[in-house]
């Protein structure tokens, strides 16, 4: 605990800001991972429901998808309900567009914040580096030629510490943002595929 406080003191305010960003980033990653769990699953259930729909048993197909928890389950279930109500394909597609967009928007929420943390953390580390070097040269100037290694150590330590801290915060945030964005894209593809299969089954009847 003492070593941590000493490190924070040596790094100055920049290291405190980076620590806060790191804690926020980790919490956000955990929340998004829990939200993304299962967003591309349930394919077997949807396929079975669509086969039931194609066989003409619409009530059973709706019941099969009613318990689905994924975005594709909800959108496909909504499409089935509208078709069962007698809506035409263009009418259903118009509604599904905003439903799908709403689902994807919810999944994309806060990913931009991770991208922003990944972008600004190295810049904050660089700022700490610059401030540390300024401190070192100020102390060198005040020493009037009597400088030694210990006199410069404080500023150099701050410079190296903030640079490393900035990278340590940025790298996990960047990796998580990219992986989560990929998961959102796959969820969007899953929605489009399931709805397309439903329309194909509807037109085959």
Q: With beta carbons less than 8 A apart as the criterion, state whether 173 and 114 touch.
A: yes
Residue by residue, pLDDT tens for the chain (205 residues) are 445 555 556 557 888 899 899 999 999 999 999 988 888 888 889 999 999 998 888 899 899 888 888 899 999 999 999 988 888 888 888 889 999 999 999 999 999 999 999 999 999 988 888 887 777 777 777 766 555 666 666 667 777 888 888 999 999 999 999 999 999 999 999 999 999 999 988 876 6
Q: What share of the chain is helix, strand, coil (3-state, %, to 5)?
A: 85, 0, 15
pLDDT for 148 equals 60
pLDDT for 154 equals 61
The position carrying tokens 């309900």 is: 81
Number of Cβ within 10 Å of residue 204's Cβ equals 7
pLDDT for 181 equals 94
CA max distance for the chain = 92
pLDDT for 1 equals 45
Query: How far apart, in whole angstroms, are the C-alpha atoms of residue 166 and residue 52?
Result: 54
């Amino acid at each position: 605990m003492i070593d941590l406080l000493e490190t924070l003191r040596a790094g100055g305010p920049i290291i405190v800001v980076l620590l806060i960003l790191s804690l926020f980033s980790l919490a956000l990653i955990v929340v998004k991972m829990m939200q993304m769990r299962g967003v591309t699953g349930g394919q077997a259930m949807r396929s079975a429901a669509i086969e039931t729909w194609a066989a003409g048993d619409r009530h059973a197909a709706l019941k099969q998808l009613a318990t689905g928890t994924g975005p594709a389950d909800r959108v496909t279930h909504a499409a089935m309900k509208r078709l069962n109500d007698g809506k035409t394909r263009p009418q259903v597609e118009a509604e599904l567009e905003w439903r799908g967009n709403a689902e994807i928007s919810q999944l994309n929420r806060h990913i931009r914040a991770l991208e922003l943390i990944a972008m600004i953390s190295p810049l904050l580390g660089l700022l700490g580096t610059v401030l540390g070097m300024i401190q070192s040269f100020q102390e060198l100037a005040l020493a009037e030629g009597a400088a030694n290694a210990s006199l410069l150590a404080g500023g150099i330590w701050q410079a190296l510490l903030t640079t490393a801290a900035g990278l340590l915060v940025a790298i996990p945030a960047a990796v998580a943002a990219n992986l989560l964005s990929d998961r959102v894209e796959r969820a969007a593809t899953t929605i489009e595929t399931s709805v397309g299969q439903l329309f194909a089954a509807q037109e085959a009847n």
